[in-house]
Structure 1
Amino acid sequence: MSTYKDNKKLKKNLLIVGIILVIGVCFGVGMYFLLDAKEPIKLTSKGTESSEIVKIGNVKCIPKKDIKTYLFMGVDQRGELTKIKKYNGTGQCDVLKVLVLDDKNKTYKTLTINRDTMVDMLVYNENGESIGEMNGQIALAHANGDVADFGSKVTKEVVSKFLNRQVIDGYVALNMDSIKVLNHLADGVTVKITDDFSKSDKTLKKGETVKLNDNQAYHYVHDRKNVADGTNENRMARQEVYLNELKSTYMDKFNKSNKFVETVYKEVEKYMNTDMSLSKMSKVALKLSKYKEVEGPTLEGTSKMGDFGFMEFRVDKNSLNNAIIDLFYDKVEK
């Protein structure tokens, strides 16, 4: 029988996993275009738990029964995750990663969602009341209401809808100030600079291999507009490089000292919020420590500058359907 001490340790392990998954956030203010007011959405996703055959695109499928889905977010907000003082589109969610645990096969996969992905969503005011609908970047979903966790709940609902109403069983949100903290705890992360950072951080010289100090790590992971082609796709690729190196460094430190988990948790706790209970976190943490990671799907699509000066990523419908099937369904044999 597990003790409170064991559960506390497992909770910290899960939060560390969440931290590693959501590193890399950027800044920018979104634009809202309000349409006719509609009824507010419920902030809990129903999803499908039926064993009936459904069609995803033209493919007949059956929903997987033994999976759990979690959402990890990187939030565009400095300092602690607190009330938004002015409702002006700040607090966007610039990193979105979905984790799917497969209890049947003892595996897990992740899916990265481009923050510029265009989706239909409801918009809320400071009081959490629906005031209209818009088609905009999925990152804007988090910039709703005046409290930190409401935006996360709205994002959870929007991601669920985007993924064919898949149930999201929990979320962890972390803001941008955690980048420097996490890099410092890793004693720096070594990467090769493959982009032109001359307008962003002149100490990051293209072609050199650098052990990033905390400020450099922030620019490497965070900056977009003044780096290379300025696209979010380019930044996402850099974030994956950084994440892989960070995970390797952290695992080495975890293996050397169990206290390192507690140190990381203590340092980043004020930059983070979650809707998961201690019991749920404990179970997820235990599974992550035992399950095998399997390569997840990638969402393909096209990016272009929108009419109002913001990038728009239009996901390819077939690519999205294939990703949904890969993560959440089993194909029905003909």
Structure 2
Amino acid sequence: MSQTEDRRNEPRRARDEAARSRKAEQLDAEIVYLKVNQAEQSPTDQSEAASSADDKAEKYDAQTAVLPVETFDYVLPQESYKKHRSHRHSSQHTGRTKTASKEELEAADEGYVFPTSEKHGRRHRHRHRRHWFKHQPRWKKVLIVVASIILALVIAIGGTFLILREIGRRSMHNYDDFAVTTPSADESGNEIVKVDNSGRVITYNGVSYQLNEDLINIVFIGVDEGSDENADLKMADAIYTMAFDTKTGSVKVLSISRDTMADVDLYSEQGKFIDTERMQLAFSHAYRGENVTGGKNTTTSISRLFYGLPLENYFAINMDALITLNDTIGGVTLTSSMTFTSPVDGRTINEGETVTLHGKEADYYVRTRDISKLDSNNARMTRQQEYIRAFMSAVVPAVKKDPSVVTKLYGEITSNSETSLDLAKITYIASAAASKLRSASDIEYVSLKGEITKGKYAEMNVTNEEALKTMLGVFYKPLAKVPGGIKE
């Protein structure tokens, strides 16, 4: 091994002491050389030589402080110390380094020193941490890196979830432009309603009701093809409005007949607005404008039924997807409320019989009606409610048995639906449902009632008072407890 390599392996303190000794010996040799030559020079030359030697000695003393080893760890040339004190360099330290005191300078010949106890700064400790990681086994390094990446992803995903949930919450509970205008009297002219604060508080029959701003309101629409001359139209065949209270966890589902007469916006085939006409609510989904979907047009008509109550969110799904959804969870078991012949195997299913519906049986059960009867849609809505309860009760066991059911349901629904719900809203709804939603058996079903008459088709006309009572019962909460519900 060479002499240079030996010196590199020596402790730093020994190297520093050896360097100082060599430099001191070199200076002493120069001084001796000058004194030898001084004797041979003239007095003037001797004076100049002595002055030169003294200057060199003073310069070395000014640059270097030679201190006892037991007192200080190492000394630092003055120029290096000044560089060390520069802003960029000193900012990397903890502030523990300090200038030598006057007594320390006098104890040393002159110079700038670092006491042993003050030597190590922040940068030095950080270097040790890097060394620690460097000397870890490869498997441990990989484990640390992977764990760090996973932690970063968890933090990122968690932050994104919280942001989306908050955006969804604000969007779903935005009542800044809320305004409801109800008639002050019933059809007979009797004064029954008083409205305050743009409809946020409504007094009906002496009882005050306040808008429930904790609700998530979503209009669900089952889309089906019409019949006869309307065969090419995509009609709103099943209409349900869900009101989910995010504070209490209660859920109310309002069923609205497709035959309900409402004000519907009409659009041309080019999407241009034509006019607003009174017709069956089912037709609202068939008309759509340039920036108005069928689902949006349906929610607008429903909002008008309830005096401008804001209903912005909808989810419309093609009824043809029902067969696949039904069979994905292994069928739906319920007690039949009608007698019918199975379109699958031709057997008779009697009223009151418990049966598991498969394929076209489920489709037949929720979509068939006797058009010769004016109120046939009401009987069909009753069966639809029965099916919805049974379906929701069957989903959880099916998912526990086969987790892939979730992705299958999601794929079928998304490919056969249109909705106003974006990712932020869905995130908020899912979060609220997971923390507050109770069992499917606790869902309360409410129907909008009206008188059914025969026009070109069956027509259900809802009175102002009936619409008001339904709106207060679903979307408002009484400021005082009302025995037996809303007063007649």
Query: What is the TM-score normalised by the length of structure 2?
Result: 0.52
Partner of residue 331 from structure 2, selected from 180, 188, 196:
188
Partner of residue 470 from structure 2, selected from 308, 323, 329:
323
SS at 2:349's partner residue? coil
CA drift at 1:249: 1.1
C-alpha distance in structure 1 between counterparts of 2:381 and 2:460, whole Å: 13
C-alpha distance in structure 2 between counterparts of 1:47 and 1:142, whole Å: 24
* Cα 1:256/1:210, change in 2 over 3 Å: closer
* Cα 1:140/1:294, change in 2 over 3 Å: same
CA drift at 1:60: 4.0
* Cα 1:256/1:56, change in 2 over 3 Å: farther
The aligned counterpart of 1:66 is: 214
C-alpha distance in structure 2 between counterparts of 1:224 and 1:143, whole Å: 21
1:205 aligns with 2:353: no
C-alpha distance in structure 2 between counterparts of 1:205 and 1:109, whole Å: 30
The aligned counterpart of 1:128 is: 271
C-alpha distance in structure 1 between counterparts of 2:211 and 2:256, whole Å: 21
Partner of residue 249 from structure 1, selected from 368, 382, 394:
394
Which residue identity does 2:390 align to in structure 1?
Answer: E
Larger Rg belongs to: 2
CA drift at 1:322: 1.6
CA drift at 1:195: 2.3
1:112 aligns with 2:259: no
1:8-157 alignment, distance < 5 Å: 47-48=178-179, 51=197, 54-55=201-202, 58=205, 60-77=208-225, 90-145=233-288, 150-157=293-300
| More off after superposition, 97-106 vs 232-241 | 97-106
CA drift at 1:87: 8.7
SS at 2:473's partner residue? helix
* Cα 1:152/1:116, change in 2 over 3 Å: same
The aligned counterpart of 1:30 is: none
SS at 2:444's partner residue? coil
CA drift at 1:298: 2.8
| More off after superposition, 261-270 vs 88-97 | 88-97
Which residue identity does 1:3 align to in structure 2?
Answer: I
Preserved contact between residue 127 and residue 145 of structure 1 (Cα < 8 Å): no
> Gapped runs of 5+ residues in structure 2?
1-154, 166-175, 181-195, 482-488
Preserved contact between residue 343 and residue 361 of structure 2 (Cα < 8 Å): no
Preserved contact between residue 179 and residue 308 of structure 2 (Cα < 8 Å): yes
Q: Map Cα deviations across residues 97-135 of structure 1 (whole Å, 9 max, x no partner).
A: 111222333433221111111112221112222212221
| More off after superposition, 288-297 vs 112-121 | 288-297
Preserved contact between residue 197 and residue 227 of structure 1 (Cα < 8 Å): no
Preserved contact between residue 116 and residue 311 of structure 1 (Cα < 8 Å): yes
1:167 aligns with 2:310: yes
Query: What is the TM-score normalised by the length of structure 1?
Result: 0.74
SS at 2:179's partner residue? coil
1:297 aligns with 2:449: no
More helix by share: 2
1:274 aligns with 2:419: yes
CA drift at 1:261: 1.2
* Cα 1:184/1:6, change in 2 over 3 Å: farther
> Gapped runs of 5+ residues in structure 1?
12-44, 79-85
Preserved contact between residue 181 and residue 268 of structure 1 (Cα < 8 Å): no
Which residue identity does 2:241 align to in structure 1?
Answer: V
* Cα 1:72/1:147, change in 2 over 3 Å: farther
* Cα 1:199/1:253, change in 2 over 3 Å: closer
Preserved contact between residue 87 and residue 145 of structure 1 (Cα < 8 Å): no
SS at 1:135's partner residue? strand
Partner of residue 460 from structure 2, selected from 307, 313, 325:
313
The aligned counterpart of 2:320 is: 177
CA drift at 1:46: 5.2
SS at 2:269's partner residue? coil
Q: Map Cα deviations across residues 33-89 of structure 1 (whole Å, 9 max, x no partner).
A: xxxxxxxxxxxx9543985564465554332332231111101149xxxxxxx9976
C-alpha distance in structure 2 between counterparts of 1:277 and 1:218, whole Å: 29
| More off after superposition, 289-298 vs 207-216 | 289-298
Considering Cα pairs closer than 8 Å and 6+ residues apart, tell me whether 1 or 2 has the greater RCO: 1
